[in-house]
Amino acid sequence: MRKLFWFQVMAGLALLILTTGLTVADTKNATVFKTPDLLGKEVKNKAGEHIGYLEDLVVNLRDGRVAYAVLTYRDSVGFGGKMFALPLSAFTMADNLRSLAVDINKNDLESAPGFDANKWPQRVDERWTKLGKRETAGNKDIDRRDQKDQGADNKDQELRRLTSVNGLTVKNEKGQDLGKIAGFAIDMTHDRIVYAALSYGGVAGVGAKSFAIPWKALQLKSLNLRVQDNYFVLNANKEDFENSPGFDRNNWPIKGDQRFGSAKKTTSADRK
């Protein structure tokens, strides 16, 4: 009976983890969440005080790194509200999965200017760079985020708000419509996109299948300068999706589907 009891307990925990979208990736200590469980989430400080919401993530299209997370302080911009560019790895999910926590003082947010809502920055604000979680190896502190990706202004960055690419159409190289992006799996510990969730088939979303497409397999294209005319290109055929069940939308996987390889290398000019 005891064995049965513990089996039921562990099965229940596994079900809770899967249905909430919280998973632990194969990389040590990497915690992966789906964007529907992150964006818009309430943010509290370590004292449990409400300080705002996670507004958006700004990503580097070239490598899928999250340049920074946007905290909207006091709920809305204007009327005393401000936006701040913080390291994504500074945030942790609360045990009850209902909010995010960040180790920041309310007074510091009150006195800091935030950034202009009409001019988003290229990197994390220097005030908050030390908020990224750290681990100790021997007597040395090691930043978990790659040093070269801590917001350097360089040519290898092509930044975009994650909400601006969610919902975009995905086509293959023949121009066939393969579906739409229906969210992303984000590794909060290492500040990166693990994969994009592709919604394929169905009618108005009913009966559609979901596939985990590794970020490196997607290439963003644009017909013109209008954001709404952007789309992703994936080296795949409709048969790749027709003959596969995809994944359960209530149980997002921890890895991308390795059947899909890397996209061809392109420059910014190729995307325009």
- Whole-number percent of the chain with pLDDT over 90: 56
Question: How high does pLDDT run on average in the chain?
Answer: 79
Strands (DSSP E) found in the chain: 23-24, 31-34, 42-45, 50-60, 65-78, 81-86, 91-93, 99-102, 134-137, 140-143, 159-161, 169-171, 177-187, 192-200, 209-214, 218-222, 230-234
| pLDDT value for 206 | 75
pLDDT band at 100 (very low <50, low <70, confident <90, very high): very high
Contacts 24+ apart (CB under 8 A), 256-259: 256/185, 256/194, 256/195, 256/212, 256/213, 256/214, 256/215, 256/217, 257/195, 257/211, 257/212, 257/213, 257/214, 258/214
Answer yes or no: are the C-beta atoms of 43 and 51 closer than 8 Å: yes
Given a cut of 80, whether residue 244 has pLDDT beyond it is yes
Which letter does DSSP use for residue 247 in this model?
B
Answer yes or no: are the C-beta atoms of 234 and 220 closer than 8 Å: no
d(CA 142, CA 135): 6
Establish whether domains 33-149 and 164-271 are of one fold.
Answer: yes
Give the tens place of pLDDT for each residue, 56-88. Answer: 999 999 999 999 999 999 766 555 579 999 999
The domain limits of the chain are 33-149, 164-271
* Single pTM value for the model: 0.79
Answer yes or no: are the C-beta atoms of 216 and 228 closer than 8 Å: no
Contacts of 199 (CB under 8 A, 6+ apart): 179, 180, 181, 182, 205, 208, 209, 210
Which letter does DSSP use for residue 266 in this model?
-
- How many other CB atoms sit within 10 Å of the CB of residue 167? 12
**Distance (Å) of CA 196 to CA 12, 20, 33:** 27, 17, 12
What CATH homologous superfamily does 33-149 map to? PRC-barrel domain (2.30.30.240)
Contacts of 258 (CB under 8 A, 6+ apart): 214
Instruction: Name the residue with higher pLDDT: 236 or 30.
Output: 236
According to CATH, the topology of domain 164-271 is: SH3 type barrels. (2.30.30)
- How many other CB atoms sit within 10 Å of the CB of residue 228? 10
d(CA 66, CA 149): 9
d(CA 115, CA 110): 13
Give the tens place of pLDDT for each residue, 116-150. Answer: 989 999 999 988 888 875 443 443 444 444 444 44
Question: Of 117, 250, 259, which Cα lies nearest the Cα of 183?
Answer: 250
d(CA 220, CA 233): 6
Give the tens place of pLDDT for each residue, 262-271. Answer: 765 443 434 4
